[in-house]
Structure 1
Amino acid sequence: LVPWHNLKKQDENEGVRVENLLFMVDAMLEEVENKKKDSNMPNFQTLQAIVSHFQKLFDVPSLNGVFPRMNEVYTRLGEMNNAVRNLQELLELDSSSSLCVLVSTVGKLCRLINEDVNEQVKQVLGPEDLQSIINRLEEHEEFFPAFQAFTNDLLEILEIDDLDAIVPAVKKLKVLSY
């Protein structure tokens, strides 16, 4: 019953004595009583306050939701720790570096990449090409609304639904007019 107690084994052929059993039971009772007195176990009100605080921190309305939310928090914490370790390894940062260092390193890396992409676009297009693209977009913004209105009117007048049907409908009208 009490494997942590070292009892002297008697001869295999000899049975267990009642006195030894009584001694063991007394020793177990004494241990239980000592544990109750020396225990650091918080009282019920403290445990209730801890659970209530957890419910407030993690937005858990009912007591039934505490354990699932604890598991969810634990799982998310593990995922975050893994992500941080992986990023530290990829960026060759010391494992003891703070999250602030990690975030600023990722930010610097993103800025470098964005600057590099902007430079590459400018090199491919050239400054003159970039301005001509801007000019064409401005012309398109002026021309397109008028063209769209004209096309919508034609579709309505010709009583058709498809842009590809405009030319055949106009040809048909031309033939009918002769």
Structure 2
Amino acid sequence: MTNREIHRLAARPHRLIAEALQGLLVGEILSPGQRILIASPWIRDVPVLDNTGGRFTALNSAWGSRTIRLSAVLRTLLERGTEVYLHVGPGPKEAEFVRRLGEGARTDGTDQRLHPHISTHDPGDVLDHQKVIAADEWAVFGSMNLTYRGVELNGELVTVSTDPARVARLITEVMGLFP
């Protein structure tokens, strides 16, 4: 796969975006890259891996048979040496997500690899509105915020790309969001 577009209508929800994201994140845990970047104006600790049957427990034995949330995946990547860059909007829920992830990283001793940035722009005036999740070898980008509604329900158009030139270009652009 080089590029795959997933179009989901709100009137006809499906799980293709969630399933694509799950597959990419499992692959990233199995073979961690140098970094993962997430730019999402709205972000929540969404379920990203369905481990209710225990099939991903070998990735992290502490998970157990349950749904695995984004923060648990990011902490696992931090533990495996991946630099995690987050650029989120200025809302209180986004700040809480960043705060809790930071606390977990400090507990794990991996906080030096976590690079959060909360936008200081007034959303009534201007807002960094890019929506990208990118690792060294893949990227997901489009209209989706990293929220439950974005991943599971809303009408969204996202592109999943493994094209090396396109991924490199996106990473370069997204890294420009970080001071």
- TM-score above 0.5: no
Larger radius of gyration: 1
Question: Where is the helix percentage greater, Structure 1 or Structure 2?
Answer: 1
With normalisation by structure 2, the TM-score equals 0.18
- Larger relative strand fraction: 2
Report the TM-score, using the length of structure 1 for normalisation: 0.19
